[in-house]
Amino acid sequence: MKTKNIVRILLSLVLVFGFSSAWAKTIKWSMQGDSLTLDPHAQNEGPTTQVSRQVYEALVQRGLDMKIGPALATKWRTTDPNNWIFDLRKDAKFSDGTGMTSADVVFSILRAKQRTSDFKEYISTISDVTAIGDYSVKITTSKPNPILLNQLSNIFIMSKAWSEKNFAMAPQNWDAGQETFSATNALGTGPFKITLREPNTKTVFKRNKHWWGEMKDNKVTQIQLLPIKNAATRVAALLSGEIDIVTDAPVQDLKRIGSSSGHKVESTAQMRTIFLGMDQAADKLRTGNTGDNPFKKKEVRQALYQAIDIEAIKKKVMRGLSEPAGIITFPGVNGYTADLDKRLPYDVDAAKKLLADAGYPNGFDVELRCPNDRYVNDEAICTAVVGMLGKIGVNVNLFAQTKSKHFKELKDDQGDFYMLGWGVPTLDSHYVFHYLYETGASWNKVNFSNADVDAAIRVMEGEVDLDKRNAAIAKAWKIVKDDISYLPLHHQVISWASKSNVNVPIRPNNEPLFRTASFN
Amino acid sequence: MDNRTLSSWERIKDSDVYHSFIKSPTAIVSSTILFIIFFCSFFVELITPYNPFDPSSLSLMDAFTPPSWTEDGLAKFILGTDGQGRDMLSTILYGCRISLIVGFSAIIFSLVLGVGLGLTAGFFGGKYEMIVMRLTDVQLTVPSILMALLVDGIARGLISREMHDEMAIYVLIFAIGISEWPQFARVSRAATLVEKNKDYVSASTIIGVSNIIIMFKHILPNILRPVLVIGTIGLALAILAESTLSFLGVGVPPTTPSLGTLIRLGNDFLFSGEWWITFFPAIFLVILAFSINLLGDWMRDTLNPKLKK
Amino acid sequence: MLVVAFVSFSLFNFVGDPINNMVGEETSDEERAELRETLGLMDPIHVQFSRFIVNASKGEFGISYQLRRPVSELIVERLPATIELVVISALIALVTGTLLGVYTGINRKGFLSDFVLAISLLGVSLPTFVIGILFIYLFAVILGILPSFGRGEVVDLGFWTTGFLTVSGLKAIILPSVTLSLFQMTYIIRLVRAEMMEILQTDYIKFARARGISENSIKYKHALKNGLIPVITIAGINIGTLIAFSIITETVFQWPGMGFLFIQAVQFVDIPIMSAYLVFIAFVFVMINFIVDILYYFIDPRIRVKGDVASG
């Protein structure tokens, strides 16, 4: 009996050591936060999509060059400006071995349009989806949509049968704290499947052997996501070899990581702009002391703008790794021009004068809400802003908290003054206007409303003549820039740090594609 | 009763405590360090030219200046600056003041509570005594840090967030204080039991002196020494508890950082070469706690040889 | 135990409106009332309380606000990590603490004794998190020999996940467990030392000396046996304290245990996790007190004579 036990233990030891060292090539991946939910339609948020992207696929996808290419759809064509036909891949299978058909695509796109979906506005122009046979779908839009492919690249396809079986027909109602099977489990057609999910601790991705595509390096058999919130711990873990890649390496530690012989650092301009929003609709600031809302006055907004020394933030807080921004969009996005991206000058005296002219010679009190685990040095940027605004007499009280609370409370209209970052996955200015500037839009928490801008957005959505469309974009940018409805700060530069022998190509949208990873 | 003719200074000079004090280098060194720290923290406005919490006096361009003796150091920032351009020395002293205020208040709170309960329990006895002593037993088994976290957690739920930042320091004092009182209660009860049966107390009772006067006039002075010893060691524990809670991010808000908050904030720069941002607050905290502990140890040996943990 | 259960019940019910915590802003009043009804929040307090007790005894504490998963599931997932950390730390603290305590108690004046005592006083003055940071910096970053976070590779045994069966798991536990044990160790050193010193001065030791029993036999046989009695009590309280202090260690080392879960819950005001943790801790304390009382009864004859086991 006793020897039997000993043999059993020895055997398990051998197995464990054998597996962990000889065959498995695991990439251990870390960043400060975790995916909020595995439900691919419940949250349109960076890290959430980064995780879903390894497991789920969309009809089309962006390659390493960020260009749209085929994925679950092999070919597509428009029969008329409002109707698209997508031919589906016949060899695509979900990780449980069942084949993917047009029924799954129809189901998934309609699912992403439901009330609890965070993508419903994203694809609001899609009016109908129908299956044409097993491997073809027709998508109808309410008006001609020049950026439909860009939008579809982020609508992940789920299995209809699996969703029905597990009562996940509707997206998880994230805002209401709903718990669903799809929030903690995933079944996609992508290169990996999730075999273990411990939120905020560990997520294990194993190869999906039914995947239709080819891995760049077949040695990559497993990915582990191990979020480490504390920046110093994250760097320590990378340097001591417990972590293979960090996709949000702290800017202050890049020099040290780069100087380590076993590690390398890559940086690239990210498709994300960081900015501050000021609620201009409330009659009285929730956290103010003046009994009114100073943000209603453009002079006040401009005063805050000119009081922010963005170069100092770049040099000291971002250690040179940021590009000061004049608008909330970045090079590479349709509609961006270097001219628009110029900032108003930093000028404390001018700011003080503007503030006095607006009737606040002694400044005012307000609370600034910030996430502390979302953007590069988010809390430190906010602290710096608090100091700079203090110099013109605006007494800012900083409230930094974890991203899930920050975003939820922002959506619940609890913020007077807040930090937000905006990426443009569709690489078209429409995405920015549609979410941040359109009257009543879901992330328009400054409550900006301008009939001309709204009209321009309609043109962006339906105009197929590119010149006319671009003119509308330019006009809208001019209006919102002159209005200073947001305070743009900078375009984020992201840095990935990894072991020298682990190659995961860096991408400007900060999304790793582990199918393209390799070892040397 | 001869003492009455002597001045109080001479009385102190004549006491055994004083003699033992001047003979103990540990006691002299630690109390000198403590005196300097206390003085600097409470008169920090007079000592440093900077107020790290006045945003208008800060310049972000000063951020990450290393200590003055290093290559890139500036003479005006002796211990360097942090990531927001705040002078480290001033920030530490301001932070130390917060730590000391919280520590002292918490200890006084638990002293009053503990001595009050212990005295009355020992004096009145009966069911009341039983309940109090049962409570002390239960409280003693619950580690202070857990108690403090719990109180803080409940407070967060009860008080709105805006209020919480303002109330944080009081919550913290209460949270730490509530976990330290049983020590005081035990000692004062034990001493009360001893004193209560002495003849002079019985005599006072007979001649009609009120209970309150007996407790305060006759019994209280007799328990001052052990209480002082426990209080000193408790102060070190309270300061450490405060810094731990602040380090965990549930203590004082970062806008009024204590030593623990400073260490937490500086921790992010540990690997990037800006070691001074976390090193100085940490070393300062250790010196502070170590000095208090040394003094407490000495006091235990001198004032009350029998008292044991 | 019942008291704690009531406290955590009140915590769950009165700290913030549970409905507000669960639904978003756009939920209508009718929907709220309906949810209140289905959750049984309209029932009288005593009905709710007994339901809470029944659920708690089944290990059900509702759903975490933050992670949106059943609390019982989270606890089961995190429990092994904490238990393994605490057990290892307790062993380190007890063994090393007792050995050093006995040594310094017997050799009162030696250089080594003074050194150990000075270090132990420093140990009391060094907050756990500072030690943790120091260790990470030294062993993980500068020397690069030990991991700085997490549990390493764990083996899932079905009901339990253990880090003891893999090299990385064993390496991962070294720093956190040593960090966690230091503070306790200093206490044990001081306690055992004081106890030894006291016993060496008691009459029966003097008597034994007078009888000519060898010095070593006196020290290690007679004195040590009696000196260890308080260590048992301490070992009990020790476990409780270690569980509490593991909150700090787990935070510093990102150890995926219950303390780490709890501290995140406090920051998030995640009431279900907090109340579950409270009940769990209370349960542990009651159990420890109970076991210590029983052990005491067997080891110390004096208590047996009184024939009364104090209840925990």
d(CA A49, CA A54): 9
Residues C130, B263: C-beta atoms closer than 8 Å: yes
Residue given tokens 């003080």 in the structure block? A352
Partner-chain contact A240 C140, CB within 8 Å: yes
Are the beta carbons of C280 and C296 closer than 8 angstroms? no
- Chain A positions touching B272 (Cβ under 8 A) are 250, 252-253, 255-256
Q: Do B270 and C133 touch (CB under 8 A)?
A: yes
Cα–Cα nearest to A270, from A252, A253, A247, A246: A247
Q: Do A242 and C149 touch (CB under 8 A)?
A: yes
Q: Which pLDDT value is given to residue A369? A: 95
Q: What residues of chain C, 122 to 181, have a C-beta less than 8 Å from chain B?
A: 122, 124-130, 133, 137, 141
Which amino acid makes up residue A282? A
The residue among A37, A410, A371 whose CA lies nearest residue C68 is A37
The contacts of residue A337 (CB under 8 Å, 6+ apart) are A474
- A505's enclosing H/E stretch is none
Helix, strand or coil for residue B77?
Answer: coil
Contact B55 A239 (CB under 8 A): no
Are the beta carbons of A198 and C27 separated by less than 8 Å? no
Among partner residues B143, B271, B309, which is closest to C244 by beta-carbon distance? B143
Dihedral (Cα; A290, A295, A300, A302), 10-degree rounding: 160
Q: In DSSP terms, which residues pair with A267 in a beta bridge?
A: A495
B297 → chain C, closest CA residue: C121
Q: Which of C68, C136, C152 has the CB atom closest to A179's CB atom?
A: C68
Looking at the complex, report in whole angstroms how far the Cα of residue A268 sits from the nearest Cα belonging to chain C: 27
Q: Which two tokens stand for residue B224?
A: 């001052």
- Please name the residues in contact with A326: beta carbons below 8 A apart, sequence gap of 6 or more: A340, A341, A342, A343, A344, A481, A488
Subunits in contact with chain A (3 or more CB pairs closer than 8 Å): B, C
Distance from CA of B59 to the nearest CA of A (A): 8
Three-state DSSP at C61 gives coil
User: CA of B143 to nearest chain C CA: how many angstroms apart?
Assistant: 5
Rounded Cα distance between A312 and B58, Å, is: 12
Over its length of 520 residues, how does chain A's per-residue pLDDT go in tens digits? 455 555 555 555 554 444 444 445 899 999 988 998 999 999 888 899 999 999 999 999 999 888 899 999 999 999 988 999 999 999 999 999 999 999 999 999 999 999 889 898 889 889 999 999 999 999 999 988 888 998 999 999 999 999 999 999 999 987 777 778 999 999 999 999 999 998 888 899 999 999 999 999 989 999 999 998 878 788 888 887 889 999 999 888 888 888 888 899 999 888 899 999 999 999 999 888 888 999 999 999 999 999 999 999 999 999 899 999 999 999 889 999 999 999 999 999 999 999 999 999 999 999 999 998 889 889 889 989 998 999 999 999 888 888 878 888 888 888 899 999 998 888 899 999 999 999 998 899 999 999 999 999 999 988 888 899 999 999 999 999 999 999 999 999 989 999 999 999 999 888 999 999 999 8
C288-302 confidence digits (pLDDT tens): 777 777 776 766 655
Contact between chains at A399 and B64 (C-beta distance less than 8 A): no
- Check residue B40 and give its pLDDT: 86
- Single out the residue of C176, C82, C190 nearest to residue C135, CA to CA: C176
Contact call for A242 and C150, based on CB within 8 A: yes
Chain-chain contact of C24 with A242 (C-beta, under 8 angstroms): no
CA dist A178 and B257 (Å) reads: 37
From residue A324, alpha-carbon distances to A358, A450, A494 in Å are 27, 26, 14
DSSP tally for chain C: helices H, then strands E: 15, 2
**Which of A176, A201, A236 comes nearest C256 by C-beta?**
A201
* Distance of alpha carbon A66 from alpha carbon A132, whole angstroms: 30
- Residues of chain B contacting residue C129, judged by C-beta atoms under 8 Å apart: 244, 247-248, 260, 263
Both structure tokens of C73 = 């599931």
Query: Mutate which of B54, B60, B277 to disrupt the A interface (most A C-beta within 10 Å)?
Result: B60
Q: Report the C-alpha gap between B88 and B78 in whole angstroms.
A: 8
Chain A residues whose CB is inside 8 A of the B55 CB are 386-391
Q: CA-to-CA distance for C294 and C310, rounded, in angstroms?
A: 9
d(CA B16, nearest CA chain C) in Å: 24
Q: Which one, of A32, A12, A5, A192, lies nearest residue C154 by Cα?
A: A12
Query: Which segments of A433-465 does DSSP mark as H helices, in order?
Result: 451-462
Q: Residues B104-161: pLDDT tens digits?
A: 999 999 999 999 898 888 888 888 888 888 888 777 767 777 777 777 777 776 766 6
Give backbone dihedrals phi and psi of A180, rounded to 5 degrees, phi first: -130, 165
Q: Which residues contact A247 (CB under 8 A, 6 or more apart)?
A: A29, A30, A31, A50, A494, A496, A510, A512
SS3 state at A96: coil
The residue behind tokens 């590479």 is A332
**Nearest Cα residue to C46 out of C10, C79, C22:** C10
Q: Which residues of B touch A387 (CB under 8 A)?
A: 55, 58, 60, 84-85
What's the rounded Cα separation, in Å, for the pair A329 and C259? 42
Nearest to A366 by CA among A396, A339, A341, A401: A396
Structure tokens at A4: 């039997």
Q: Are B240 and C285 in contact (CB < 8 Å)?
A: no
User: What ipTM describes this predicted complex?
Assistant: 0.77
Q: For C256, name the nearest residue in chain A, comparing CA atoms only.
A: A201
Decide if A405 and C144 are in contact by the 8 Å CB cutoff: no
Residue of A nearest to C270 (CA): A405
Return the partners of chain B (3 or more C-beta pairs < 8 Å).
A, C
Amino acid at B152: D
- Between chains, do C240 and B143 touch, taking CB under 8 Å as contact? yes
The three state secondary structure string of A360-416 is: CCCCCEEEEEEECCCCCCHHHHHHHHHHHHHCCCCEEEEEEECHHHHHHHHHCCCCC
Of A30, C121, A517, A145, which is closest to residue B295 (Cα–Cα)? C121
Cβ–Cβ under 8 Å, residues A224 and A204: yes
Helix (H) or strand (E) holding A144, with range, is: none
**Other residues' Cβ atoms within 10 Å of the Cβ of residue C244:** 23
Give CA–CA dist B229/A115, Å, rounded.
Answer: 65
Residue numbers in C near A402 (CB within 8 A): 267-268
Model pLDDT for residues C115-146, shown as the tens digit of each residue: 888 888 887 788 888 898 888 888 877 787 88
A473 touches chain C (CB under 8 A): no
> Which residues are bridge partners to A137 per DSSP?
A86, A131
Whole-angstrom distance, CA of residue B245 vs CA of residue B258: 10
Closest chain B residue to A253 measured between Cα atoms? B272
Q: Is residue A225 within 8 Å of residue A199, measured between CB atoms? A: no
Contact present, A195 and A97 (Cβ < 8 Å):
no
Calpha distance A134→A131 (Å, rounded): 7
| Interface contact flag, C285 B282, Cβ < 8 Å | no
Residue, of A84 and C262, whose pLDDT is higher: A84
Of chain C residues 236-255, which have a CB less than 8 A from chain B?
237, 240-241, 244-245, 247-248, 251
**HSE (side-chain half, CA atoms, 13 Å) at B218:** 22
Three-state secondary structure call for residue B194:
helix
Of A335, A506, A321, A326, the C-alpha closest to A426 is: A335
CB-based contact B153 C269, cutoff 8 Å? yes
Backbone angles phi, psi at A98, to 5 degrees: -80, 145
Closest to C252 in 3D by CA, of B127, B112, B267, B217? B267
C-alpha closest to that of B270 among C55, A465, A236, C63:
A236
Residues from chain B contacting residue C16 (CB–CB below 8 Å): 157-158
Partners of residue A367 on adjacent β-strands: A397
Q: What is the pLDDT of residue C43?
A: 60
Measured between beta carbons, which residues in chain B are less than 8 angstroms from residue C121? 290, 293-294, 297
Taking the complete model, does pTM exceed 0.90, yes or no? no
DSSP assignment string, B13-50 = HHSHHHHHHHH-HHHHHHHHHHHHHHHHHHTHHHH-S-
What burial class does residue A93 get, using C-beta atoms within 10 Å of its C-beta: 0-12 exposed, 13-18 middle, 19+ buried? Answer: middle
Q: Report angle CA A60, A63, A67 to the nearest 5 degrees.
A: 80
Is B250 within 8 Å of C263 when comparing Cβ atoms?
yes
3-class SS of residue A182: helix
Euclidean distance between CA atoms C256 and C150, whole angstroms: 6
* Contact criterion met (CB below 8 Å) for A472 and A463: yes
Question: In Å, how far is A350's CA from the nearest CA of chain B?
Answer: 16
φ, ψ for residue A142 (rounded to 5)?
-70, -25
Which of the pair, C219 or B306, is modelled with greater confidence? C219
Kindly determine whether residue A177 and residue C69, on different chains, have CB atoms separated by under 8 Å: no
Question: How many Å lie between the alpha carbon of B252 and the closest alpha carbon of chain C?
Answer: 13
Cα–Cα dist C51/C54, whole Å: 5
The reply to whether C274 touches chain B by the CB within 8 Å rule is: yes
**Residue contact B271–A239, C-beta within 8 A:** yes
Over chain B (309 residues), the average pLDDT of each successive run of 10 is 55 70 83 89 81 76 85 83 87 91 93 90 85 81 76 72 74 87 86 78 77 77 81 90 86 79 84 84 92 87 57
Tokens of C92: 């380190």
Task: Name the 3-class secondary structure at A25.
Answer: coil
Which is nearest to C72 in space by CA: C80, C63, C81?
A: C63
B149–C263 CB contact, under 8 Å: yes
Beta-carbon contacts below 8 Å between A and B: 69
Closest listed residue to residue A386, CA positions, set B86, C183, C118, B235: B86
Q: What angle do CA C177, C180, C186 make, to 5 degrees?
A: 120
Pick from B115, B34, B100: nearest CA to B298: B34
Which uninterrupted H or E stretch holds A397?
A: strand A395-401
Q: Which residues of B touch C (CB under 8 A)?
A: 141-143, 145-146, 149-150, 152-154, 156-158, 236, 240, 243-244, 247-250, 260, 263, 267, 270-271, 278, 282, 285-286, 289-290, 292-294, 297, 308-309
Instruction: Report d(CA C6, CA C62) in Å as an integer.
Output: 16
